[in-house]
Amino acid sequence: MGGIRGSIFQGSRYMSENHVLDVRDRPSPGLWLILSLQHLFAMFGATILVPYLTGLSPAVALVSSGLGTLLYIVVTRGRIPAYLGSSFAFIGPIIAASSIGGAPGALLGCATAGLVYVIVAYFIGRYGVGWLMRLLPPIVVGPVIMVIGLGLASVAIDMATGVAATQAYSTKHFIVALISLLIAIGFAAFMRGVFALVPILFGIIGGYLVAIPAGLVDFSKVAEAPLFAMPDFIIPGVTASPTLSITVILLIAPVAFVTIAEHIGDQMVLSKVASRNFLEDPGLGRSLLGDGLATMLAAFIGGPPNTTYGENIGVVAITRVLSVFVTGGAAVLAILFGFLGVVSAFIQTIPTAVMGGVSILLFGIIAASGLRMMIDRRVDFSHKRNLIIASVILVIGIGGAFIQVTSDFKITGMALATVIGIGLNLLMPGREEAEQSALFAAGEAGGEAEAAAQAPV
């Protein structure tokens, strides 16, 4: 989840007028390639993990990520140096939707999430953003983000312990998973600069090297793979004939409201890093439109939904390179990688234990980030309404509650928790008092962040 990972840069210490390259600056060819490879390096591990977990093609995910980023750059008029990668918020809903209508049906559901972005972008352009902030306050979004992470906990453990691969517990798998986890934690805790931004990638690489002597890696597919190969695109009406059910729509579409809140956070962080206001120019509506169209494009070729990536925002912050030509170059490289058959085959050899190990960290970070959002926004749990709203969302979302409307239509899990959370927030008394308290706290936090940004590093 790009916005979640990007939240660590709020109150940025990296904001500086001394940018190496501004948004429209074009680097020399050699430097351009190096800087774009750096962005590809930052997004690669997380972007391939999402399709790996959901049963989609990693090669298609790379292509859809690159195409989505290029489309985003066009829609935002080349004014926002953001990279779009696979969104973690949709992992659980895609897995659930695939069990109902298969991968093609789940992808059509993802397209409806992109449509939600487009609709919200229209209303923001027409009525401003205040209504959206009232609909999605931190007391709703924070617990829902926690549900996203904690709801995937069993998936990570099944992969780490070998249950997902062998249908039985395996000590060997779990040891490899723990080593992958420790390597990822080591890079996150002890490395500095760009290396600290990609612990998932290094966890996968380190775990893979350990898995080879453990006998968990089969290289036969790599040896047989061609250098170039057409990715396994899933195109409605061409390669598949999916059916879209209301249940799938209600599983996936509501997730868009959570990722929209993350998107706004990402734009605020990136604005601080770039010392300008991207929410005004080119505008939040245009930015959301680009994100939504990129998600719809990804869904129509078989890729997971896209979102702005915090890792790449971190790269921009550290390198002070704002150039959209650099992020666009990374997008072109991602597309090229998607057509490399050897790369696709190599990704398929990564053991589930390795992915399970890094997923333990990643899903835990997602859950903790929901808590951090509420702390950063000073959500006051001395207000009973806040305590009630958070409690209900967590239990309904994690507990797997659902409403069976008809024999083939039900509202489940995170979607149900989100809808109930929004309803409780709008209907319970004391909302205005809580909003005023949050606004006051946000003002204090903003002053602290500004002071921190002006302080010497």
Span 89-110, pLDDT tens digits: 999 899 989 988 889 999 999 9
Of 193, 155, 169, 168, which is closest to residue 364 (Cα–Cα)? 155
Q: Tell me the Ramachandran region of residue 430: left when phi exceeds 0, alpha when psi lies from -120 to 50, beta otherwise.
A: left
Q: Are 58 and 85 in contact (CB under 8 A)?
A: no
Kindly report each contact of residues 154-157 with a partner whose C-beta sits within 8 Å and lies 24 or more positions away, as own/partner.
155/53, 155/91, 155/92, 155/95, 155/359, 155/363, 156/356, 156/359, 156/360, 156/362, 156/363, 157/356, 157/360
**Is 132 in contact with 124 (CB distance < 8 Å)?**
yes
CB atoms inside a 10 Å sphere around CB 280: 9
Q: Which two tokens stand for residue 108?
A: 């059509």
Task: Compute the distance between CA of residue 23 and CA of residue 144 in angstroms, rounded to an integer.
Answer: 34
pLDDT value, residue 446: 44
Identify the pLDDT of residue 434. Answer: 65
Q: What pLDDT shows up at residue 45?
A: 86
Q: Tens of pLDDT along 333-385?
A: 999 999 999 988 998 899 999 999 999 998 998 899 889 889 988 898 988 99
By CB neighbour count within 10 A (0-12 exposed, 13-18 middle, 19+ buried), where does 457 fall?
A: exposed
Positive or negative CA dihedral for 52, 56, 61, 63? positive
pLDDT at 435: 64
Low-confidence ranges of the chain (pLDDT < 70): 1-18, 406-408, 434-457
Q: 321: which strand partners? A: 21
Q: Which residues contact 447 (CB under 8 A, 6 or more apart)?
A: none
User: Which helix (H) or strand (E) element contains residue 404?
Assistant: strand 402-406
* Paired strand residues for 306: 86
Q: Are 398 and 151 in contact (CB under 8 A)?
A: yes
CA distance linking residue 103 with residue 98, whole number of Å: 5
DSSP 189: H
- At residue 455, the pLDDT reads 35
- Dist CA 37 CA 326 (whole Å): 9
pLDDT at 436: 62
Q: Is 33 helix (H, G, I), strand (E, B) or coil?
A: helix
Q: What values do phi and psi take at 411, rounded to 5?
A: -105, 120
